[in-house]
Every structure is written in structure tokens, then in C-alpha cells.
Structure 1
Amino acid sequence: ARAVEELRCAKEKLGLVGIFWRPNKLCGRTLSSPDYNPVYEAAADLGVAVCVHEGARTVLEQCGSDRYSEFGRHIACHPLEQMLASLNLCADGVLEKFPKLHVAYLESGCGWVPFWLERMDEHWEHEGQGQAKTTHEKPSYYFKRQCWASCEAGEELAPVFIEHVGADYLTIATDYPHSDCIGKFPDRTVGDLTKNNRISTEARRKILWDNPVRLYGLEV
């Protein structure tokens, strides 16, 4: 209840457009836990996006933390936690229950998305029998209806995402002011994307402008 109060206050008084949401389990809860439904419902009603973002150096459970420390854990946890978060939201019925909710999977690259959507859909079609199938539509349906992912400016798999998922579901992450961006922003971040000949002019505009406007419900 307090989280919903804070969400409404931030939207009404500060113009909040998105909330930061960790993909990790917390106190045994995944993102599909019914305990989070009041927040999802409020975010959907208010037009506030749920922005899923992993991070290192945390006490929360993380993919890879049982095998690696800093270097390996950081490589593993970002995309793997996002994959599990999208499984929770797209395949466990959260987005079906809240059709107006917008979700963004941020700063973990976009290369994991085509593979993961295909894998989730395959299991939904061939192995989701009885109680295992928790949604009326395949997971990619909910992703394309309500989700976006961010790409890195020079990400080689961004064109693959566009080909297999679509340009309407992609935004950009500069990672500013983290170390991988210092000295590169904006020429080697946004600039690299605008010079990528493998991405059409129309797709670039969607990534840099149209999609963020839709994701966050901006009036521009």
C-alpha cells in the first residue's frame, strides 16, 4: 500500500513516467508474485512504465553469483535476470492480467530477446499442457503488445532484433555516466546508432524517438 501511495504521489506531483524495478527474487518473490499486483495495477492505471534493470554488487540473489564474483557475475546476471523477468511477466500471466501495463527491459542489450521469445513460444505451443500453460496467448504476443528492450549503440545484434522482433519494440541505452560510456557520449553512443547502415532511417527514428515516447506516454 505504501509503494502504491508513493507511486501515485510521484506521478501526480512530479510527473513520474517510469519506476525502477529489479528482476531478482526478493524474499522469495519473483516478479509474477501476486504481492506485486497492486503496484502493477497502479502503474498501468497511471501510465507509468515498469523499467526492469539489473545491477551488480547487491545482496539480492543473482544468476551467476553462485559461480562467479565481479567479472563473471556481471556478464551473466544482466541478460539472464532479464530473461527470467520476461518469463515472469510474459508467460506467467502478469501482462495478460494488466493489459495497459508498459514494461521496459533496460541496459542488458537486446540480443537475448529474439532467442528467448522463440524459446518461450516453443514451450508454450508444445509443452504448456494443463496447468503449465498460464496464458491464453503465446509469450511473444504479450511482449509485442506491452514491452520494449534497450540496445547498446554499437550492438551487433540490434539489426537481428529488428528483423525477428521488430523495430517498434527497441529503445537505446547510453549507460551514461558509467565507465563504458565516459568519453564516448554522445558521439560514440547515439552517434554510432545514427551511422549504423544496417539499421534503416525509419528504424533509427523509432529507437531514438517514437518508441520512448510510446513507452513512457510522453506528450511531445
Structure 2
Amino acid sequence: MEQPLPRIVSVDDHVIEPAHLFGTWLPAKYRDRGPRPLTAGIGELAYVGGKYRITTDPDGPPTDWWEYEGELFPYKRIIAAVGFSRDEMTLEGITREQMRRGCWDPAARLADMDLNHVEASLCFPTFPRFCGQTFAEARDKEVALACVRAYNDWMVEEWCGDSGGRLIPLCLIPLWDVELAVAEIRRNAARGVRAVTFSEIPTHLGLPSIHSGHWDPFFAACQETGTVVNMHIGSSSQMPAASPDAPPAVQATLSFNNAMASMADFLFSGVLVRFPRLTLAYSEGQMGWIPYALERADDVWAEHRAWGGVRDLIPEPPSYYYRRQIYCCFFRDRHGVASLDAVGRDNATFETDYPHVDSTWPHTRQAALDHVRDLDDETVYKLMRGNAIRMLGLDLDRDGYRAPDQERPEG
């Protein structure tokens, strides 16, 4: 008999925004200045030095875009890759009609989750980018703020609204104004939102660092409302690479470096000391790197804290704050599972990355079993759903088991 597996709570998936989002949810007075959907041909689409190089071509393959403040933002096949073979997951433009419907339709997403042994899902944005950088970079901040609020209203009321709690709202903040960010945290918390997305390394976006104290009102509001701060790799709009002309595969391999750098920043910032009930979640960073990162941080704290500038700032070893306040997640990381005692059985969660090129859909159940089949039932429960339920304060049942024959993929 095949090992039972509780239904998964995925803490890192993605949504492709429907074309009607801003036309429906943005107040009428802003719509002529807000994001506008269009379908047009695409020319060159390349990824060079960590940045996309994009041109239009009337005779090129049809692609769905957003036009905003004179800039064009295309959807790419690699971010709507489910249903394509690995060799078809390329840097080509794509329309919503060419995507699997679950990319942008909530009812279809729930059906795809059922096919994939997934009960609940937290989804990051695409057009706004992982923490709302698109709006932070906009010139007209009045419209940008309206766009942030419109996205959050759509996320809460339309994307998640009829899902019975299975689609978990993840909201944006106006990154350019910390007081407006605090107001948005409280506005959304009042309607049950418990997750916000934030930049892993704000200084890469030209924003103040977490060491500056600038973000303390935001962290205080998140602590007060029980809102988890979720940081996706790439939410600094910069991916690590050894050489500027390295192929994208180098950056894909090194992507966890952003999460590692961010976690070290937080562990030595004093933020987790000042806000002891603040919760951080690292998304798509995997976890095999965490044991040594914690070992090194604790060693630096023990041996170098005086000249290192943290003697009076960090009273406990950094690993203490990690275990108390930080969650990681994984989906392909056998080394991390083998090091689970050092990673923390109460700190690790699972993801499917639907519908990105890395996604394990529709074989997530088998992918998960390949990682956890030698673990005890209580640990498997924690990794697949228990830790995520606790982290996000979800109202889901204890076991979450479902017969495998009810989940056979179709199509």
C-alpha cells in the first residue's frame, strides 16, 4: 500500500492576473491612467544580466501584455508553464488563452489543486512583481496607491473570495510610503488577511534597509495584526550571478543566495529582537543552505560580536531567533530534508510553485513522497500542512487526508 500523505498547503504559488482586474477594481477616475491589458505581437524576449530585454513586433507571436505609464509588461511562457513539456518552457510570449486556465481563473485553479493533492495555496503576483515593485517604480504615486489597493481588493474578494479558504490572500503594500503601508496592513487585516509580500533586500530597490529603523512601523503593524512577512526570491528585482554575461541557468542555480543574504540581514538587524512576535517566511529559497548559514551566524555572534557591531544588539545566538520567528519552504531539496533537525522540523513548509517552470504540478504528491517517505508521520504532517497552518493561522482540519484515486490528473 502506498504511503498516505496529508493534503498539501502550498505557501508559494503564483497567479496570472486576469485582463479585467484593473478595469473592474480600480476606481473609475484612475482607469485611464492605470494598467491596461492588450494583446500584441512580441519580438525579442531575452534574459541578459538579470534583466529582461523585450521588443514588440506586429508580426511576432501574439502575447498578452499590460501597458502602464508607457511601459509594456508581457506574460512569458516560463511563468505560465504548467501543461507544457520541459523543452517547451521557453522565453516566449504567451496569451491567457494559451495558458492552462488555472493560471488566472480561481475555479480552474481549485480544480488543478484537486488534481495535485493540494488543499490550500498562497499566490504571489506576476504583473505587479513579487512585492509590488511595478507600482513602487511608477511616477504617479496617487494612481500607484490606487492600483495596490485595487489588486488587494481583487485578491481578497475575487481570487480568494469563493474558495472556501483554500486560496489564501497575499497582499501588497505601497513600498514607497511606510505609513501608507501600515494603513494597508491594517485595512487588510480587518478583513482576515494574514500575509503580505515584502522585498528580500529592499536596498536593491532603492529603498531604506531594514537596519535603518525606517520599516519598524511596518514590522510593528505586522506583529500587531499577526501578518506574516513573505519574501520571494527575486523580490529585490536582482538575481545573483558570478558574471554579467552568464546564462540564466547560473542565476537559477544561485537564486537561494538572495534568501540567505536576507536572512543574515534580519538575524543581525535587531528587528526580531524588537518585534518578538513578528513572523518571516522565505519563499522558493529552498532550505539545504540553512544549517551552515545558522552555524556560521552563531559562530560570528560568539566570536566576533564586539567588533562585528552586534554585541549590544543581539542578546541571543541568531539561530534562536530563526527557530522562533522564521519559516523556510522547499519542493526539491533532498539535502534539506536530510538536514531537517538542523533546519528545524517546525520551521519548514512546502510549495508547488504553480504555474512556474519549476512547478511539480501535476505530480506534486509523488514529488513530496520522494522527499518525506522515510520521515515519521508527525514530521510529514508538519512539513506538508501543519507548519503552514500554524504560520498563517489557517482554519483547516488537522489531518487533511484524501484518497489518491480522487486526484488523478486529467489532460
TM range, normalised to the smaller chain?
0.7 to 0.9
Q: Deviations over 1:12-61 (max 9, x none)?
A: 13x212111121223253333311111111001000100111128x7x44
Residue in 2 aligned with 1:44?
223
Residue in 2 aligned with 1:162?
340
Deviates more, 1:97-106 or 1:198-207: 198-207
Q: 1:200 aligns with which of 361, 372, 376?
A: 376
Matching residue's letter, 2:206: C
**Equivalent residue runs for 1:123-162 within 5 Å:** 123-129=300-306, 131-133=309-311, 134-152=313-331, 154-162=332-340
SS in 1 for 2:339: helix
1:69 shift after superposition: 5.5
**Equivalent residue runs for 1:170-209 within 5 Å:** 170-181=348-359, 184-186=360-362, 188-195=363-370, 196-209=372-385
| Alignment partners' CA distance in 2, 1:150 and 1:114 | 14
Q: Which has the larger radius of gyration?
A: 2
1:199 shift after superposition: 2.5
SS in 2 for 1:19: strand
Which structure has the highest helix share of the two? 1
Matching residue's letter, 2:260: M
User: What is the identity percentage for the equivalent residue pairs of Structure 1 and Structure 2?
Assistant: 26
**Equivalent residue runs for 1:83-122 within 5 Å:** 83-122=260-299
Which ranges in structure 2 are unaligned for 5 or more consecutive residues?
1-178, 397-411
Which ranges in structure 1 are unaligned for 5 or more consecutive residues?
none
Matching residue's letter, 1:27: G
Report if the CA contact (8 A) 2:234-2:258 is conserved.
no
Do the aligned partners of residues 66 and 12 (structure 1) sit closer, same or farther apart at CA in structure 2, a change above 3 Å counting? Answer: farther
Deviates more, 1:114-123 or 1:189-198: 189-198
| Alignment partners' CA distance in 1, 2:377 and 2:296 | 30
Report if the CA contact (8 A) 2:349-2:388 is conserved.
yes
Give the TM-score taking structure 1 as reference length. Answer: 0.87
Residue in 1 aligned with 2:387?
211
Give the TM-score taking structure 2 as reference length. Answer: 0.48
Do the aligned partners of residues 61 and 31 (structure 1) sit closer, same or farther apart at CA in structure 2, a change above 3 Å counting? Answer: farther
Which structure has the highest strand share of the two? 2
Aligned residues: 212
Do the aligned partners of residues 203 and 179 (structure 1) sit closer, same or farther apart at CA in structure 2, a change above 3 Å counting? Answer: same
| Alignment partners' CA distance in 1, 2:259 and 2:374 | 26
Do the aligned partners of residues 22 and 190 (structure 1) sit closer, same or farther apart at CA in structure 2, a change above 3 Å counting? Answer: farther
1:162 shift after superposition: 1.2
SS in 2 for 1:51: strand
Query: Which 4+ residue blocks in structure 1 deviate beyond 6 angstroms?
Result: none
Q: Deviations over 1:180-218 (max 9, x none)?
A: 22xx424x3243223532332211100112101111122
| Alignment partners' CA distance in 2, 1:135 and 1:70 | 37
Q: 1:33 aligns with which of 190, 207, 212?
A: 212
Q: Deviations over 1:117-174 (max 9, x none)?
A: 111011001111153433000110000011110011x421232331223211100011
Deviates more, 1:94-103 or 1:199-208: 199-208
| Alignment partners' CA distance in 2, 1:69 and 1:37 | 38
Do the aligned partners of residues 39 and 177 (structure 1) sit closer, same or farther apart at CA in structure 2, a change above 3 Å counting? Answer: same
Matching residue's letter, 1:2: L
Deviates more, 1:158-167 or 1:110-119: 158-167
Do the aligned partners of residues 89 and 208 (structure 1) sit closer, same or farther apart at CA in structure 2, a change above 3 Å counting? Answer: same
1:66 shift after superposition: 5.8
SS in 2 for 1:29: coil
1:89 shift after superposition: 1.4
Report if the CA contact (8 A) 1:91-1:138 is conserved.
no
